[in-house]
Amino acid sequence: MPSRHSTLLADAARRLAEAGVESPRVDAELLLAHVTGRTRAGLITLDELDAGAAARFAALLDQRADRVPLQHLTGRAAFRHLELAVGPGVFVPRPETEQLVEWALASLAGVPEPVVVDLGTGSGAIALSIAHEHPGARVTAVERDPDAIEWTRLNAASRAAAGDRPVEVLAGDMTDPLLLRALDGGVDLVVSNPPYVPDGALVPREVADHDPPMALWGGPDGLDVVRGLLGTAARLLRPGGGLGIEHADLQGTALPALVRAHGGWDDVADHPDLAGRPRFTTARRARGGAGGD
């Protein structure tokens, strides 16, 4: 006979599926693991829930069926080797962005103390992952949203307490011509997961209702913020310095074209995510070349 918890999970997954949740069984398991303080694997030995835990699970299930993001309910988001605090007011980091970090770390290989700037850092996922996986990196994380930056600071403090090199968290707009002027021409890498969703695009309810608008919308073609970002990156980077920008899967041609048209960039290329969809554009600051900034 199936255990009581497996029946509970089957019923929960069915309900989430009917509500349109993309990964109903996984989400049900993660919510139950959160309530019981177990890992997903540890649920196999769970016999039954006490009344309090059952009530908490039911309440979380109600919220998830109403399309509140799973990560808002658990308060945590896994990203590469880190677990980050997230909640209302901050963009929930996605697995797709991990590929941008992979490229960034590869581009910094052999540079003992690279200077890195993450523009529009949100939870700090990119900046803190680079600092964690490249202990010599000197990373600055920039965020303009006053609600989101509180999550950045929380996660940065947590990682510093865990022994990672501290990341500087700075309130600022990635398109501001005065941003980080002291670093002009001295940065090895600029990375960004900027707002890139075209105005009016249809997005899942989890995104539309819960991700902060400042992290989502990028103008009619989704690239308005990127246009300003390019000027900032061009000014900050040393000749030969790297640039990596995440984008929507329909912008795999438009964003590289925008970088080329800006001028002063070499080795412009686009890269797919693990699902094979166009996901981020990279470039190198031209050596001795001017343009666009």
Which residues have a catalytic role annotated? Answer: 91, 193-194
SS3 220: coil
Distance separating alpha carbons of residues 145 and 39, to the nearest angstrom: 33
- Give the torsion through C-alpha atoms of 147, 198, 262, 268, to 10 deg: 90
CB atoms within 10 A of CB 279: 23
Tell me which amino acid residue 219 is: G
Alpha-helix runs per DSSP H in the chain: 4-18, 24-36, 51-65, 70-74, 98-108, 125-133, 148-161, 205-210, 213-216, 224-236, 254-262
Compute the Cα dihedral for 281, 285, 289, 291 and give only its sign.
positive
Task: Report in angstroms the alpha-carbon separations of 220 from 45, 129, 241.
Answer: 52, 31, 30
Q: What is the largest CA-CA distance in the chain?
A: 72
Residue given tokens 């909640």 in the structure block: 87
Cα R_g (the chain), whole angstroms: 21
Tell me, rounded to whole angstroms, the distance of Cα 209 from its chain centroid: 17
Helix (H) or strand (E) holding 282: strand 278-285
